[in-house]
């Protein structure tokens, strides 16, 4: 297969280069010509057993709740939970304020713990995930097909597609730098098989 730039025949397929089936020029990284990565089936993915980290709101509820309870304990220990000053209404208000501090603290702690326990990893609808996976799978199949047809010039170096290998009406591609190879494969797959499922 002649290189579109130098016209030489010192070429190999991307697979041959990737699998080191041919002698490579010094300094070549075959990983540059790796096949497109296969998508992972979401049905085979396992969710981590641990809960996701708590969010800022849950953390704030727990901290403020703990502070209020600690404040209440401190007041209680210091004998500030009630007062002898003022009339009965004032004293009742003081005691109520003291009690509200405790209740609010406990409420925030309960809310924070409940918020933490209810946290789940965000998981999509299994049907949607499967649909997306089928789409990714189809894209992957097209790219893998294109990858199988990629040729590499070992002298230039670069990758190219010969005339008609992807589709009968496709002319030969120009030589493209190896750094652009994955993008080239993706683009050619879209162009050659656009509309195909
Ligand atoms: Zn060449």
Cα-to-centroid distance, 95 and ligand 1 (Å): 90
Residue 159's pLDDT is what? 96
| 36 contacts 143 by C-beta, under 8 angstroms | yes
> How many angstroms does the Cα of residue 4 sit away from the middle of ligand 1?
7
What tokens appear for 110 in the block? 């309960």
At 50, list the tokens: 């641990």
Q: Is the pLDDT of residue 120 over 90?
A: no
Q: What is the pLDDT of residues 14-54, one digit of tens each?
A: 999 999 999 998 888 999 999 999 998 877 877 777 777 77
Q: Taking the complete model, does pTM exceed 0.85, yes or no?
A: no
Measured in angstroms, how far is the CA atom of residue 175 from the centroid of ligand 1?
8
CA-derived radius of gyration, the chain:
34
Per-residue pLDDT tens for 96-118?
888 998 999 999 999 988 888 88
């Amino acid at each position: 297969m002649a290189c579109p730039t130098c016209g030489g025949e010192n070429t190999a397929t991307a697979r041959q280069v990737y699998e080191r089936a041919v002698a490579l020029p010094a300094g070549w990284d075959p990983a540059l010509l790796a096949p497109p990565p296969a998508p992972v089936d979401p049905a085979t993915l396992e969710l981590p057993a641990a809960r996701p980290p708590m969010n800022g709101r849950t953390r704030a509820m727990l901290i403020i709740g703990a502070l209020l309870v600690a404040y209440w304990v401190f007041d209680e220990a210091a004998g500030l939970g009630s007062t002898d000053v003022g009339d009965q209404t004032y004293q009742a208000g003081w005691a109520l304020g003291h009690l509200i501090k405790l209740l609010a603290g406990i409420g925030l702690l309960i809310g924070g713990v409940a918020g933490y326990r209810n946290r789940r990893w965000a998981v999509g609808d299994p049907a949607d995930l499967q649909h997306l996976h089928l789409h990714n799978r189809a894209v992957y199949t097209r790219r893998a097909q294109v990858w199988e047809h990629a040729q590499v010039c070992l002298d230039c170096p670069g990758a190219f597609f010969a005339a008609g290998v992807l589709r009968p009406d496709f002319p030969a591609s120009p030589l493209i730098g190896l750094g652009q190879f994955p993008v080239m494969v993706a683009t050619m797959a879209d162009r050659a098989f656009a509309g195909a499922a």
